[in-house]
């Protein structure tokens, strides 16, 4: 089949993994990303004095291929093991969680791998694609500024499921599959302290709190500067408060933080609240990718495989392998 040009929408882990495979064999591969830089839900933000992983906190590697990549990325200093002290926290009582999990983090931020993979292909940042249009046997993409991109032989959506449902409208079957996937919202609150808080642990899963996870970014390898505590707000509270004022979210979570840690913590020197409208996938399809052979339109992303960084990677690989197989058929 004639596939010599491919457009991929979304420069998260799935999109850039897919693109970095395709560029080895397909003459033209272009990734469109709405944000100023690649990363997606693995993004890290940098403030004046500190940086913080705003999405994925760490990742695990279980499949042979991802484990092999991890070894390469560790050699390249893009990834490191995080040996943070993880506890289970309930009303100020911390219980050490003794697990055997090997936790990896990107360095200096979680987005390091995505940025590196993005360097292997052509990524056009700051372009939000709104529609995919089929004309004859080719595809054109329309962006939010009204610009038309193309033509492309094949188009791949690598965006979260709710956005994919809209982009895949040309293939009702694929759009319906994307629409069947539920993705939860999550508020995140970042607290920066110029003096260490000395909580006695580096990260915690919380019981009986509106916060489900907290971690000190400064405890991760390759991070420098202030103590930066990231609080991940629970799905239930987040879903009920998607319209909340960020200041009100911060005020509520500072109280929950004090209650969970069992002490009156000093006021943070910097705070930031962020709402991930599409955070964690509830019911991933576990099918690798979606593809319509005749239309040459497909989809990948964590929601196609598993709701983790590794799931997004596997989905990107699966999509690329399918397109390369289609080229040879």
Name the site residues for ligand FAD (rule: CB under 6 A).
9-15, 32-35, 40-42, 55-59, 128-129, 158-160, 163, 186, 188, 232, 276, 279-280, 301-302, 307-309, 311-312
Question: Among residues 226, 216, 277, 189, which one has the least CA distance to residue 47?
Answer: 226
**Residues 30, 158: contact at Cβ < 8 Å?**
no
Provide the minimum distance between the beta carbon of 73 and ligand FAD in the complex, in angstroms, as a whole number. 15
**What 8-state DSSP symbol labels residue 304?**
G
Provide the minimum distance between the beta carbon of 31 and ligand FAD in the complex, in angstroms, as a whole number. 9
Name which of 137 and 146 has its Cβ closer to ligand FAD: 146
Q: Which residue has the tokens 């103590």?
A: 227
Question: Among residues 217, 239, 244, 236, which one has the least CA distance to residue 228?
Answer: 217
Question: Among residues 322, 324, 314, which one has the least CA distance to residue 14?
Answer: 314
C-alpha 129 chain-centroid distance: 18
Name which of 106 and 195 has its Cβ closer to ligand FAD: 106
Q: Which residues pair with 44 in a beta bridge?
A: 53
Provide the minimum distance between the beta carbon of 252 and ligand FAD in the complex, in angstroms, as a whole number. 17
Provide the minimum distance between the beta carbon of 329 and ligand FAD in the complex, in angstroms, as a whole number. 26
Name which of 58 and 237 has its Cβ closer to ligand FAD: 58
Name which of 9 and 196 has its Cβ closer to ligand FAD: 9
Provide the minimum distance between the beta carbon of 35 and ligand FAD in the complex, in angstroms, as a whole number. 5
Name which of 86 and 158 has its Cβ closer to ligand FAD: 158
**Residues 91, 129: contact at Cβ < 8 Å?**
no
Stated as kind and residue range, the H or E segment containing 223 is none
- Dmax over CA atoms of the chain, in Å, equals 66
Name which of 192 and 311 has its Cβ closer to ligand FAD: 311
Provide the minimum distance between the beta carbon of 293 and ligand FAD in the complex, in angstroms, as a whole number. 23
- Angle at which helix 13-22 crosses helix 112-119, to 10 degrees, equals 30
């Amino acid at each position: 089949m004639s596939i010599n040009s491919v457009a991929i929408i979304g420069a998260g882990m799935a999109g850039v993994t897919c693109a970095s495979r395709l560029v080895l064999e397909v003459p033209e591969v272009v990734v469109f990303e709405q944000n100023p830089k690649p990363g997606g839900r693995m993004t890290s933000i940098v403030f004046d004095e500190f940086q913080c992983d705003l999405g994925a906190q760490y990742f695990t590697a279980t499949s042979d291929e991802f484990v092999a990549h991890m070894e390469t990325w560790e050699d390249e200093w893009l990834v490191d093991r995080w040996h943070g002290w993880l506890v289970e926290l309930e009303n100020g009582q911390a219980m050490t969680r003794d697990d055997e999990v090997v936790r990896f983090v990107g360095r200096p931020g979680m987005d390091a791998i995505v940025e590196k993979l993005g360097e292997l292909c052509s990524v056009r940042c700051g372009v939000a694609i709104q529609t995919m249009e089929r004309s004859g046997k080719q595809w054109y993409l329309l962006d939010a500024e009204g610009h038309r991109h193309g033509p492309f032989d094949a188009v791949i959506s690598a965006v979260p499921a709710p956005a994919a449902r809209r982009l895949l409208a040309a293939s009702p079957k694929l759009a319906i599959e994307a629409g069947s996937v539920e993705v939860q919202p999550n508020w995140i609150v970042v607290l920066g302290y110029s003096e260490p808080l000395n909580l006695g642990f580096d990260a915690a899963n919380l019981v009986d709190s509106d916060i489900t996870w907290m971690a000190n970014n400064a405890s991760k390898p390759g991070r420098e500067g202030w103590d930066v505590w990231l609080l991940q707000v629970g799905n239930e509270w987040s879903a009920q408060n998607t319209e909340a004022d960020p200041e009100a979210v911060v005020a509520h979570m500072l109280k929950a933080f004090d209650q969970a840690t069992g002490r009156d913590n000093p006021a943070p020197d910097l705070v930031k609240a962020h709402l991930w409208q599409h955070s964690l996938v509830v019911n991933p399809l576990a099918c690798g990718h979606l593809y319509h052979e005749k239309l040459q339109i497909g989809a990948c992303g964590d929601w196609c495989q598993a709701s983790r960084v590794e799931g997004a990677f596997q989905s990107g690989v699966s999509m690329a392998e399918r397109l390369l197989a289609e080229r040879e058929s």
